Amino acid sequence: MCSSLEAVADPAAEANIRALEDAAAQVSTLTTGLWSNRDRLTLIRRVEAVVRMLPAASLEWTAQMREQWSNAEFPANNLVDTLADTLRITPAEARARWRAAEDLAPRIGMTGESLQPLLPETATAYREGALAPAHVTIIRDAMRRLPAVVDATERAEAEAMLAGLAREMRPDYLRKVTDQLDTIVNPDGTFTDSDRARRRTFTMGRQGPDLMTKCTMVVDPETRALLEAIFAKWAKPGVLNPDDATPVANDEPDEAAVQRDSRSAGQRQHDAVKAALRNCVASGELGQHRGLPTTVIVSMSLQELEDAVAQVAPGARIDTGRGTGTVSGPPVITGGGALISIGDALRLASHAHHYLALFDHHDGRPLYLGRSKRIATADQRIVLHARDIGCTFPGCTKPGFLCQVHHRTEWAAGGTTDADQLTFVCEPHHQQAGTDSTTWQADPVAPGQPNAGRTQWIPPVHIDPARRPRVNRYHHPGEYFAPTSEPASRKHV
């Protein structure tokens, strides 16, 4: 097998890597049609052991990169993005490898001495090919859950026990053992505030095709107490019922309202949390975020707005989607990158202070928010939420809430802080922007061209010697299939 990847500088190591590649190619093309199932199972087992060894070794190499990291060596300026871009994996997976290296790779002490991994027995078994990644994840999670009352000796004994069992057990059996680990090493059930604080978490999953999102939480006692208070007030039957013409909020519901309420307890609690969050955002006490009031920002085209409003009779209430007054239309995008139904957007708008951002029909220029200052104003950020929606760097998915404002023509080179000379870019990609052929350069798409007024990025020569401009279409998914030369005017609420 002739590798198309870059060679390493060490000739002996390069020879070993090529031998590994060649051996893998030969084994993967073995003719096993006449083998017995026993021989096939032996082959699968031995190959599995070899395959397991390599990720374990890779963790040590990752740890060495972290120890010797220099921001000047790679364009991405950080190890996580460098791994993600090079291996074509998600940043989440790259970050998971970084964290696994902290537990399973040899370490360097403050004075330069070599230290064993934090989980030495697990690391040894993993590197020998005796453990699957699932075994390692279960052991790491179990050790992380141990309370502070468990001393170092007991921790080491617990880790050695789990690593030994993992050599013999399937991951599903091992997990059942770890479920009992707390009662084995902490029979009195002693947990401190720091133990509880370490476990607190909130995870918001991806939106599904129905625009719904699954969230998981592990809350501390204080947060639970706050939720209980909210549920006691707003999660009672008959309160905040979206099917009522005028939902009861602060008064006691009458018996008729209670009987009309067909929601489950979980649905009532969801609606109570939503009401609490809405009140929090509307209170103004959250201050500003990147120069704008902390609020929900929704982008939609002028045509989308007109079509949606035409479906609602003057003075009528916008329905939740279950009744006859449902507002239909394609979903629109928020400043945080979420998709929201057009009906929900109009309901949010009915309680909001509105901003209108209009763009020239032919060249996509904002009409018109110009400034002589270096720092973009709040109004200009509204324009960028309308036009860019999120980071304009090719392939980036970060929403506008997580973006900085970049001058398409560098301020130091005479660029102006006018709305049509600004663009959204997230902080990691902002660090890669520059003015020469070794950096990424941002320019507006010329009038009359597809995507006029949008931002195109010219890659550095080591990425593309021809330096062909690239446009990020992630935040405008319709352009993947039907690119247009006429940028839409956009409305913000």
- Which pLDDT tens digit goes with each residue over 267-284? 999 999 999 998 888 887
Q: Is the pLDDT of residue 224 over 70?
A: yes
Q: Picking from 46-60, 327-341, 387-401, which range would have the lowest pLDDT averaged per residue? A: 327-341
pLDDT band for position 484 (50/70/90)?
very low
Which residue in the block uniquely carries the two structure tokens 């019922």? 241
Per residue in 329-349, pLDDT (tens digit) is 778 778 788 888 877 877 776
**DSSP summary character for residue 476:** S
Q: Picking from 239-248, 401-410, 422-431, which range would have the lowest pLDDT averaged per residue? A: 401-410
pLDDT score at 128: 94
Q: Is the pLDDT of residue 374 over 80?
A: no
Side chain identity, residue 49 = A
Burial of 306 (0-12, 13-18, 19+ CB in 10 A): exposed
pLDDT band for position 108 (50/70/90)?
confident
pLDDT score at 323: 44
Give phi and psi for 167, each to the nearest 5.
-65, -20
pLDDT band for position 187 (50/70/90)?
confident
pLDDT band for position 366 (50/70/90)?
low
Strands 417-418 and 201-207: unpaired
Say how many C-beta atoms besides its own lie within 10 A of residue 363's C-beta.
17
Per residue in 193-218, pLDDT (tens digit) is 888 888 899 999 989 988 999 999 99
Q: Which of 230-234, 350-354, 430-434 has the highest mean pLDDT?
A: 230-234
Closest CA to 23 of 32, 15, 11, 33: 15
Straight-line distance from the first to the last Cα atom of the chain, in angstroms, rounded to the nearest whole number: 58
Q: Is the pLDDT of residue 418 over 80?
A: no
63: left (phi over 0), alpha (psi -120 to 50) or beta: alpha
Q: Is the pLDDT of residue 152 over 70?
A: yes
The more confident residue out of 360 and 70 is 70
* Structure tokens, 31: 């003719």
pLDDT score at 431: 86
The C-alpha angle with vertex 78 and arms to 73 and 84, in degrees rounded to 5, equals 105
Torsion, Cα 207 208 210 212, to 10 degrees, reads -50
**DSSP summary character for residue 99:** H
Q: CA neighbours within 13 Å on the CB side: how many for 184?
A: 16
Give the Cα separation of 300 and 285 in Å (integer): 27
Domain boundaries, the chain: 1-30, 35-185, 201-283, 290-493
pLDDT score at 416: 58
What pairs with residue 216 in β-bridges?
A: 203
Give the Cα separation of 253 and 268 in Å (integer): 14
pLDDT score at 493: 40
Say how many C-beta atoms besides its own lie within 10 A of residue 136's C-beta.
25
The more confident residue out of 342 and 292 is 342
Give phi and psi for 241, each to the nearest 5.
-75, 115
Classify 152 as helix, strand or coil.
helix
* Structure tokens, 232: 């006691």
Say how many C-beta atoms besides its own lie within 10 A of residue 110's C-beta.
6
Distance of CA 431 to CAs 72, 86, 424, 427, 435, Å? 11, 18, 13, 6, 12
The more confident residue out of 420 and 120 is 120
Q: CA neighbours within 13 Å on the CB side: how many for 119?
A: 29
Asked if residues 63 and 106 have their Cβ atoms less than 8 Å apart, the reply is: yes
The C-alpha angle with vertex 252 and arms to 249 and 258, in degrees rounded to 5, equals 90
Q: Is the pLDDT of residue 465 over 70?
A: yes
The more confident residue out of 168 and 475 is 168
Q: Is the pLDDT of residue 239 over 80?
A: yes
Mean pLDDT (the chain, rounded): 82
